[in-house]
Amino acid sequence: TFITSGDMDCMPCPAGTRSSSRSAECEVCPIGSWSSEGQSSCVTCQRGYFTPEPKVSCLHCPDGKWSLDGSGECKDCPGGWWRSSGLTSCLMCAAGARSANGSSGCTDCPAGRFSDAGSPVCEECPAGTWSRPGFGRCKNCPPGSQSAPGSSECSLCDAGSHSLLNSVGCAPCASGTRSGVGW
């Protein structure tokens, strides 16, 4: 409350302001804090909440955004991270998923691609490997098979050719040797 200059009546400070005892005027709460009517102090907004101007309450950051304690604004979650309502901080996408800046969720990597945890992008599996949707790592093609970059499966080597583990391609059998399909 504050004392009016013309008389000795004390008036409550309006919402969004504060005053100490014997104050002649009310002070506006700092950005990132709030107060209800007649308060002597302002309350700091908690992580995940903000107030850009003196308010009577803090606002929840929108999905895909976050804030620190006492913030006047929310910032986008970085790529590879996400936040939805009910959470106060951004969470890292799991391996095999990705997200862009300001996302409210993660999306699985498509077949033939992978990602590490917290990655904003999915990378193509190299030749000799494969993956299914949502894989965090590419799997090696077994002996007797091959794959091109970005493959979702390995293909068997033709009869008369062979490959080793993680092969980029199949090679013809040497003279005096043979193989069946997928040997």
Q: Please state, in angstroms and rounded to a whole number, the distance separating the CA atoms of residues 107 and 94.
A: 10
Residues 106-148 pLDDT 10s: 999 999 999 999 999 999 999 999 999 999 999 999 888 999 9
Which residues, listed in sequence order, are joined to residue 108 by a DSSP beta bridge?
97
**Per-residue tokens: 103:** 């996302």
Residues 7-32 pLDDT 10s: 567 889 899 999 877 778 899 999 99
Q: Residue 25: how many CB atoms within 10 A of its CB?
A: 11
169: left (phi over 0), alpha (psi -120 to 50) or beta: beta
pTM summary value:
0.75
Position 168 confidence tier, pLDDT thresholds 50, 70, 90: confident
